């Protein structure tokens, strides 16, 4: 099994930043593993009546994956990857969930997995994904803001850091994107 | 719609959103005159925004964390290193337990997977690992054998022997136990505890669920040392204390409090007599079929533990008492609120349990008035204690280690100046101003006689931190105080070494002291009694750059020299002035690049007078990591340095910082 080391994380982040999409594919499993652990904590704390900031958890995942040897600028890229992975996992899951409902036989969804997401939620996520893809065509940056905030759990400040834009711009992008997506989802119902 | 059109729409949308809700409609009407499509778009978007509420405001993870877990909580067939999970056995406060097959040795093991909650805290994890390793060295038929403590792909696990049997808790529910059986159980457990205690290991969580009986009747104690994980010990942990306490109060981590000793309930230090108490509770429960201390809530139970006397056996288990009158004495000696009145060690308890057995068998010559007092012949006691101490120092106990350090402080650090100064928090405003002026002077001299002028905002920050520190350190005897004290004490023996090494590199000695103090607090030294690992927490790769091999990382001399070298390099890079000195402290943890970036930001603010406190006072301009991490403990160090002039006030055995060697001296 693969183990995330600071070295390969850094290298992969750099490669990805430099445009190597294959690097993202190799980053995914590393990040996915961390995300699952984050989720575990999330659920555990939730059961215990605590609320945890997703952002804090993602930061923690980074710290654990990376360590101080990693060049700090890469943090932003890590967040971006996290958000992308999270989005990928959830949407994929939602699609399979819906597929299972429609009687697909190609892949049996195990009971316990299927039961983790309601059909309503799956439909909502798929609609959101489709709207987000539309938004990306019009305004790439806004769709990134949403990806980072909603799927990556980043704060406004962190989103600004990742995208190298001002906090004000993030706020404005966010509210416009929220209005656009909400309208789109409402209309698709 | 295309991008250009969208930009137009967005402009109207944003402008409208900048206006109060009631004015938006008329604004759109005005600005979209003649463009109906634009007007419709803007109007529907505004309406959508106003309706949206908290739509997508909560990150997806908050709702869908369960999805990610689908593959984490699965069971059979999953492989963790060489272990293949067969089935889930159960869950305890400390994680899920699985029956697994060790594919290397082809045997069944019980595999406990640590909750991520624990695994994510490095200090806790290290503590756990060292404790578990210490426990795994215990070789006793009544102690569950630990095969392996390890980590595979981020999952921390303990592989132990698999016991086909029931926990004592299950056993008590399932069947009636005869007095002979009860005594047999307790004796087996007590004798195992005796071995552990002799090795300096306290279980801390003896309860029926942690004791198993194999089908052949052999008792096994589970989870040695693991309860220690739940305690906060290091100052770094203090920031999590509130959370941990909440857990504890909610009963979610610690589980039951019924077996807790009074000293545990009060949050005091524990020793082997805590296990004796808990075992007494178990014995009471087995005899009386009810708990000695209970309450409607955890709090009530703890109050009962601290204040109430349990019902006498004559009332709740008179038939057992009739067969073995010594039982009441045994319970009394186990369940003394005052720790010093309890059995001193399990040897004494075992002797009385033997008496009880003899009484049942009708062999007792008479009722034993005074329980026998020694488990070992007197001439053995001293060497045994010596060995126990050695073991404890070598293996596990930070606490014992700290005590031993206190005992071998160099004489020059014993004699501390006892100038009677008031606590900062007790000063009036005038005194405080003078005090701060004095500290300003002191910080200047710490920084190598270069002038440091603090602005008002920075002074407020200093005052706040000193107050915080003084309140924390000066408050009553609690775990926090002892953690701070212990940290200082641990650093003190190395002060001469540090002073030499840092002075030789013309680096302020104060930084040298800072590094061990803060770093060891941050990641306490568990593994080496020498303390070097606690002194300087270099990453292996960094240490290697400075010529310290992995094997040498416990060598205080080498690590100190490397640290001095490392700091000197940073100072050379950042510039040799007061600012660089403070920033070196920060960069030590955050990395030089981060310091450079932060500086760039903070230079954009006003009143930046080039020192740590103003940097801190301007922390709003800094990165999140600064606010959440460095900003916490670097100032505590400075606050500690300030109050360190009068260490006795705080029970700190450390020489006044001003008397330590200056660079070049």
Predicted ipTM? 0.79
Q: Are B159 and B111 within 8 A, CB to CB?
A: yes
Distance separating alpha carbons of residues A1 and B81, to the nearest angstrom: 9
Distance separating alpha carbons of residues B611 and B111, to the nearest angstrom: 52
**Is B63 in contact with A183 (Cβ distance < 8 A)?**
no
Does residue A81 carry a pLDDT above 80?
no
**Mean pLDDT of the B615-633 span:** 67
Q: Which of B197-206, B452-461, B646-655 has the lowest mean pLDDT?
A: B646-655
**Two tokens at B491?**
């650093």
User: Percent of chain A, pLDDT > 70?
Assistant: 50
Angle at A178 between CA A172 and CA A184, to 5 degrees: 140
Work out the burial of residue B373: count CB atoms within 10 Å of its CB; fewer than 13 is exposed, 13-18 middle, 19 or more buried.
Answer: exposed
A152 touches chain B (CB under 8 A): yes
pTM summary value: 0.39
Distance separating alpha carbons of residues B402 and A178, to the nearest angstrom: 56
**Is A37 in contact with B120 (Cβ distance < 8 A)?**
yes
Active site residue B205: yes
Minimum distance, in Å, between the CA of residue B154 and any CA atom of chain A: 8
Pairwise pLDDT comparison (A139 vs B596), residue with the higher score: A139
Pairwise pLDDT comparison (B480 vs B301), residue with the higher score: B301
Does residue A184 carry a pLDDT above 90?
yes
pLDDT of residue B228: 55
* Chain A hits for B597, Cβ within 8 Å: 72
A148 touches chain B (CB under 8 A): no
A1 touches chain B (CB under 8 A): yes
**Two tokens at B123?**
């200090």
pLDDT of residue B491: 60
Does residue A38 carry a pLDDT above 90?
no
Distance separating alpha carbons of residues B548 and B538, to the nearest angstrom: 10
DSSP A149: I
Nearest by CB to A151, which of B13, B60, B154?
Answer: B60
Residues listed for chain B: 665
Angle at B82 between CA B80 and CA B85, to 5 degrees: 50
Q: What's the mean per-residue pLDDT of chain A? A: 71
Give the range with max mean pLDDT: B86-90, B437-441, B563-567.
Answer: B563-567
Task: Please name which of B165, B280, B151 lies closest in space to residue B222, comparing C-alpha atoms.
Answer: B165
What element of type H or E holds A93? helix A74-101
* Chain B hits for A157, Cβ within 8 Å: 624
Chain B residue closest to A87 (CA)? B60
pLDDT in tens, B423-456: 444 566 666 666 566 655 555 554 444 445 566 7
* Alpha carbon separation from A16 to A11, A59, B196, B281 (Å, rounded): 9, 19, 53, 60
- Choice among B102, B205, B237, B275 that is catalytic: B205
DSSP B408: T
Distance separating alpha carbons of residues B197 and B279, to the nearest angstrom: 14
Residue B593: how many other CB atoms lie within 10 Å: 12
Across the strands, what pairs with B150?
A: B157
Nearest by CB to A182, which of B48, B72, B116?
Answer: B48
Work out the burial of residue B60: count CB atoms within 10 Å of its CB; fewer than 13 is exposed, 13-18 middle, 19 or more buried.
Answer: buried
Distance separating alpha carbons of residues B261 and B265, to the nearest angstrom: 6
Decide: helix, strand or coil at residue B442: helix
Pairwise pLDDT comparison (B120 vs B655), residue with the higher score: B120
Does residue A118 carry a pLDDT above 50?
yes
pLDDT of residue B233: 37
Does residue B260 carry a pLDDT above 70?
yes
Task: Please name which of B222, B136, B72 lies closest in space to residue A116, comparing C-alpha atoms.
Answer: B72
Minimum distance, in Å, between the CA of residue B662 and any CA atom of chain A: 31
* Alpha carbon separation from A144 to A54, A83, A163, B61, B593 (Å, rounded): 17, 9, 8, 17, 27
Task: Please name which of B373, B353, B374 lies closest in space to residue B364, comparing C-alpha atoms.
Answer: B353
Nearest by CB to A54, which of B59, B152, B542?
Answer: B59
Do strands B155-161 and B107-113 pair parallel, antiparallel, or not at all (unpaired)? Answer: antiparallel
pLDDT of residue B406: 31
| Helices B509-522/B235-250 angle, 10° precision | 20
Distance separating alpha carbons of residues B225 and B583, to the nearest angstrom: 40
Q: What's the mean per-residue pLDDT of chain B? A: 67
Does residue B246 carry a pLDDT above 50?
no
Distance separating alpha carbons of residues B471 and B464, to the nearest angstrom: 10
* Alpha carbon separation from B4 to A137, A183, B8, B11, B635 (Å, rounded): 11, 20, 7, 11, 52
Exposure letters A79-108 (e unless 16+ CB within 10 A, then b): bbbbbbbbbebbbebbebbbebeeeeeeee
pLDDT in tens, B302-333: 888 988 899 998 888 888 888 888 899 999 99
């Amino acid at each position: 099994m693969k183990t995330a080391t600071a070295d390969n994380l850094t290298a992969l982040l750099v490669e990805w930043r430099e445009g190597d999409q294959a690097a993202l594919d190799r980053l995914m499993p590393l990040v996915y593993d961390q995300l699952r652990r984050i989720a575990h904590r999330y659920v555990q704390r939730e059961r215990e009546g605590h609320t945890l900031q997703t952002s804090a958890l993602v930061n923690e995942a980074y710290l654990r994956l990376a360590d101080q040897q990693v060049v700090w600028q890469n943090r932003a890229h890590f967040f971006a990857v996290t958000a992308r992975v999270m989005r990928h996992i959830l949407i994929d899951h939602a699609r399979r969930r819906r597929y299972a409902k429609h009687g697909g036989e190609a892949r049996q969804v195990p009971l316990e997995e299927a039961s983790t997401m309601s059909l309503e939620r799956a439909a909502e996520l798929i609609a959101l994904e489709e709207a987000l893809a539309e938004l990306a065509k019009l305004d790439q940056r806004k769709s990134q803001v949403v990806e980072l905030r909603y799927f990556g759990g980043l704060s406004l400040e962190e989103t600004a850091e990742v995208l190298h834009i001002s906090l004000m711009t993030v706020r404005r992008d966010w509210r416009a994107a929220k209005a656009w997506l909400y309208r789109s989802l409402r209309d698709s119902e | 719609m295309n991008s250009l059109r969208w930009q137009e729409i967005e402009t109207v949308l944003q402008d409208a959103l900048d206006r109060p809700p009631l004015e938006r409609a008329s604004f759109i009407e005005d600005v979209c005159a003649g463009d109906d499509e634009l007007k419709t778009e803007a109007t529907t978007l505004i309406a959508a925004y106003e309706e949206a509420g908290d739509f997508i405001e909560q990150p997806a993870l908050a709702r869908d964390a369960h999805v990610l877990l689908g593959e984490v909580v699965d069971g059979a067939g999953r492989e963790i290193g060489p272990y293949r999970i067969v089935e889930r056995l159960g869950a305890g406060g400390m994680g899920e337990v699985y029956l697994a097959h060790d594919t290397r040795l082809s045997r069944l093991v019980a595999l406990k997977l640590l909750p991520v909650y624990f695994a994510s805290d490095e200090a806790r994890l290290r503590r756990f690992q060292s404790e578990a390793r210490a426990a795994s060295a215990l070789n006793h038929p009544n102690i569950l054998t630990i095969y392996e403590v390890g980590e595979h792909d981020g999952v921390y696990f303990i592989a132990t022997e698999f016991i086909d049997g029931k926990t004592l808790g299950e056993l008590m529910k399932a069947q009636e136990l005869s007095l002979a059986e009860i005594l047999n159980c307790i004796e087996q457990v007590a004798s195992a505890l005796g071995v552990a205690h002799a090795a300096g290991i306290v279980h801390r969580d003896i309860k029926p669920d942690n004791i198993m009986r194999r089908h052949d009747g052999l008792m096994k104690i589970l989870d040695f040392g693991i309860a220690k994980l739940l305690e906060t010990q290091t100052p770094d942990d203090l920031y999590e204390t509130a959370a941990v306490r909440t857990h504890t109060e909610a009963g979610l981590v610690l589980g039951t409090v019924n077996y807790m000793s009074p000293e545990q309930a009060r949050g005091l230090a524990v020793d082997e007599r805590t296990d004796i108490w808990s075992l007494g509770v178990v014995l009471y429960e087995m005899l009386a079929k009810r708990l000695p201390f209970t309450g409607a809530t955890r709090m009530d139970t703890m109050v009962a533990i601290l204040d109430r006397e349990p019902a006498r056996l004559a009332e709740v288990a008179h038939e057992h008492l009739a067969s073995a009158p010594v039982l009441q004495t045994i319970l009394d000696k186990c369940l003394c609120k005052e720790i010093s009145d309890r059995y001193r060690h399990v040897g004494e308890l075992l002797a009385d349990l033997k008496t009880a057995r003899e009484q049942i068998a009708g062999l007792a010559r008479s009722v034993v008035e005074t329980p026998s007092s020694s488990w070992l012949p007197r001439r053995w006691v001293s060497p045994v204690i010596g060995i126990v101490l050695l073991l404890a120092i070598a293996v596990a106990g930070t606490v014992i280690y700290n005590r031993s350090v206190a005992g071998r402080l160099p004489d020059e650090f014993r004699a501390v100046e006892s100038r009677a100064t008031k606590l900062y928090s007790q000063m009036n405003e005038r005194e405080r101003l003078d005090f701060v002026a004095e500290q300003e002077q002191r910080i200047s001299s710490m920084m190598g006689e270069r002038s440091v002028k603090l602005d008002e905002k920075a002074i407020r920050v200093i005052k706040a931190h000193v107050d915080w520190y003084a309140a924390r350190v000066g408050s009553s005897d609690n775990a926090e105080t002892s953690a701070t004290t212990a940290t200082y004490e641990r650093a003190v023996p190395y002060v001469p070494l540090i002073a030499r090494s840092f002075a030789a590199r013309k680096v302020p000695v104060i930084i040298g002291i800072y590094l061990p103090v803060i770093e060891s607090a941050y990641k306490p030294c568990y593994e080496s009694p020498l303390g070097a690992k606690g002194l300087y927490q270099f990453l292996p790769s960094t240490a290697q750059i400075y010529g310290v091999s992995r094997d040498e990382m416990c060598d205080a001399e080498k690590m100190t020299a490397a640290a001095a070298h490392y700091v000197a390099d940073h100072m050379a890079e950042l510039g040799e002035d007061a600012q660089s000195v403070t920033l070196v402290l920060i960069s030590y943890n955050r990395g030089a690049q981060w310091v450079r970036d932060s500086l760039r930001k903070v230079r954009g603010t006003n009143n930046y007078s080039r020192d740590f406190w103003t940097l801190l006072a301007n922390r709003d301009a800094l990165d999140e990591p600064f606010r959440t991490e460095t900003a916490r403990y670097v100032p505590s160090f400075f606050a500690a340095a300030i109050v360190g002039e009068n260490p006795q006030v705080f029970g700190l055995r450390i020489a006044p910082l001003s008397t330590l060697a200056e660079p070049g001296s």
